[in-house]
Amino acid sequence: MEDKIYKKDAVVGIIGLGYVGVPLAIRFADEGFKVIGFDVNPSQVDVLNSGTSPFKHIADETISGIVAAGFEATGDYSRIKAVDAIIICVPTPLKSGREPDLSFIESTLAAMQPYLRAGQVLSLESTTWPGTTREIIQPFLQSAGFTIGEDFYLIFSPEREDPGNEEFTVRTIPKVVGGITERCLTVGKALYSAIVDKVVPVSSTDAAEMVKLLENIHRSVNIGLVNELKTVTDRMGLNIFEIVQAAATKPFGFTAYYPGPGVGGHCIPIDPFYLTWKAHQFGVHTRFIELAGEINSGMPKYVISKLVEGLNSQGKAIKGSKILALGIAYKSDVDDVRESPSVEVMELVRNWGGDIQYADPNVPVFPTMRMHDFDLTSTELTPESIQSFDAVILLTLHKGVDYEMISEHARLIIDTRGKFDAKRDKVVAA
Return the percentage of the chain with pLDDT > 70, whole number. Answer: 100
pLDDT given at position 179:
98
What is the residue extent of each domain of the chain? 2-203, 242-429
Q: Do 113 and 146 form a contact (C-beta atoms < 8 A)? A: no
199, β-bridge pairs = 175
Reported as a single tens digit per residue, the pLDDT across 393-415 is 999 999 999 999 999 999 999 99
Confidence (pTM): 0.90
Reported as a single tens digit per residue, the pLDDT across 221-272 is 999 999 999 999 999 999 999 999 999 999 999 999 999 999 987 778 788 8
| Ramachandran sector of residue 215 (left: φ over 0; alpha: ψ -120 to 50; beta: rest) | alpha
> Are both 2-203 and 242-429 of the same fold?
yes
pLDDT given at position 370:
77
d(CA 59, CA 148): 39
What's the whole-number mean pLDDT along residues 307-320? Answer: 96
For 378-403, give one letter per residue: b (16+ CB within 10 A) or e. Answer: bbebeeeebeebbbbbbbbbbeebeb
Which one of the listed residues 196, 211, 267, 292 is annotated catalytic?
267
d(CA 61, CA 58): 8
Return the percentage of the chain with pLDDT > 90, whole number. Answer: 84
Note the CATH architecture for domain 242-429.
3-Layer(aba) Sandwich (3.40)
Start-to-end CA distance of the chain, whole Å, equals 55
CATH 3.40.50.720 describes domain 2-203: yes
Would you say residue 368 has pLDDT above 90? no
pLDDT given at position 122:
98
Handedness of CA 49, 50, 53, 54 (dihedral sign): negative
d(CA 274, CA 303): 27
Residue 10, Cα to own-chain centre: how many angstroms?
29
Is position 89 annotated as part of the catalytic site?
A: no
